[in-house]
Amino acid sequence: MTLAEARRAVAGTDVPGGTAVAAYMSKLAVRRPEQVQHLLVSLDTAKPVNSYTRQDLVAQLQDKARKHPTMANRMLTRWKDFFSFCEQQGWVTHNPLTIVQRKFIGGKETARERVLSWDEIQKFLLLVLHPDTKFALYFILATGLRPSEALWVLRTGRTEKIPTKTTLHRIPRVPHVKALLKLVGHVPASHLTLSNALRRKGVDYTPHDLRRTFATRLSDLGVFPHVVEKCLNHRMEGVMAVYNHAEYWDQRVEAMRLWGHKLSQLRRSCRSGT
């Protein structure tokens, strides 16, 4: 539904939450709209958008924060933007979340630094999980993709024009990537499925930590930092961000081949018990 259609549909009436969400989504220019939708799904879209109260919204966010503080903070940011949109359209008189701060919802976030050692990677390879979940997690480790990006690639089979928050990414179709894409079964619904599976196993790392492990151990294998950054689809910093637009594609291909070879060695070691 377009914004104009929403305005015509609700002229002179209380705007249903579902209509407001649809209009909001139609105005966003994001590459992964399903991620935004996921953050809005907890809103009761059957209610008129002007019936939401700060007390109810904060209570819902704090309840989410008890188990998933980072997710609660992301929800707060997205909900604030949604209600700002509604206020701009005249559907609410004020944004009920304007004064609400993340430090009182999910708390201050600290950057994670967890990286798996070579021995821990082998233990991960031996971890007993649902086959589809284990396959998706291994694919993150094998490609260095963000969890949501890895799931997108597994669903589509595409390794180019991978949608991220700001840019389109691509990864080399080196032998181990091509081999994995031929083995795809059922793809987990979201990255939360992967996080919950690891949490139930009692390990202290997350799916995103597998991406950090990819980057760190690739550096251990002698790959230059700027090539690792490009493998991760990170932006260059400082002067390089302005003047250096090289993709280092050939070096990325070689880095991925090297990584695939190392993972094969680790898997063989696990099978032999050495």
Q: Residue 27: which CATH number?
A: 1.10.150
CA atoms lying within 13 Å on the CB side of residue 24: 26
Helix (H, G, I), strand (E, B) or coil at 222: coil
227 and 92 both lie in a single domain? no
Contacts of residue 90, Cβ cutoff 8 Å, sequence gap at least 6: none
171 and 230 both lie in a single domain? yes
Domain limits at 151? 118-272
- Name which of 143, 123, 99, 92 is nearest 256 in CA terms: 143
Q: What is the pLDDT of residue 79?
A: 94
Of 104, 131, 163, the one marking the end of a domain is: 104
C-beta atoms surrounding 16 within 10 Å: 18
- Full-model pTM: 0.73
Asked whether 169 and 229 are in contact (CB, 8 A), the reply is: no
Q: Which residues of 209-221 are buried (b: 16+ CB within 10 A; e: fewer)?
A: bbbbbbbebbeee
- Name which of 152, 192, 190 is nearest 171 in CA terms: 152
Q: What is the dihedral of CA 265, 270, 273, 274, to 10 degrees?
A: 40
77 and 19 both lie in a single domain? yes
62 and 146 both lie in a single domain? no
Q: What is the pLDDT of residue 239?
A: 47
Asked whether 75 and 43 are in contact (CB, 8 A), the reply is: no
Q: What is the pLDDT of residue 244?
A: 46
Q: What is the pLDDT of residue 200?
A: 94
73 and 137 both lie in a single domain? no
Q: What is the pLDDT of residue 212?
A: 96
Q: What is the pLDDT of residue 250?
A: 94
Residue ranges of the chain with pLDDT lower than 70?
A: 1-13, 30-32, 235-245, 273-274
148 and 47 both lie in a single domain? no
Q: What is the pLDDT of residue 110?
A: 72
Helix (H, G, I), strand (E, B) or coil at 32: coil
Q: What is the pLDDT of residue 95?
A: 95
> Token pair of 3, please?
């914004």
Query: What CATH number is associated with residue 227?
Result: 1.10.443.10
Helix (H, G, I), strand (E, B) or coil at 12: coil
- Name which of 131, 90, 126, 95 is nearest 203 in CA terms: 126
> Token pair of 193, please?
């499925």
pLDDT in tens, 179-207: 999 999 999 988 889 999 999 999 999 99
Asked whether 161 and 243 are in contact (CB, 8 A), the reply is: no
